[in-house]
Amino acid sequence: MGNEIYRILRNDGIFVAFLPSFNCTEEACEDPGKWGPIRKDDMQKREYDTGGWQCFHTPETIREELVAERYRMHRIEKIYFDTPMEMQEINIVYGINSSFPIHEYLLTAQK
């Protein structure tokens, strides 16, 4: 994905994305009561949810991809989804019924 986005971006263009957090999945797996049973594949950094297998990321895997694709600058920020409306949407999309705040990574990178 990073390669194709880099290819079509103009010079100095900015790539913005929310990337699912593998760290968040690991935290939930430490306490299965938070999300219920989660199928996790540590080798491929993915977990199985209501939509099937989904890849997750760590700041390290994100940085590795950005460096490999030649992005010049990047910023990775942890964003929590913890409002009642966000938690309701997470329950619908992922089948997670929890008061445990979910986070993803907000990525901005420049070509």
pTM of the shown model: 0.68
Domain that holds residue 19: 2-110
**CA 100-101-105 angle, 5° bins:** 140
Burial 66-78 (b: 16+ CB within 10 A, else e): beebebeebebee
* Residue 9 DSSP class: S
CA distance 61 to 56: 9
> How many structural domains comprise the chain?
1
Per-residue pLDDT tens listing for the chain (111 residues): 888 999 999 999 999 998 877 666 556 555 555 555 667 787 887 777 667 787 778 898 899 989 999 999 999 999 988 888 888 887 777 666 666 677 889 999 999
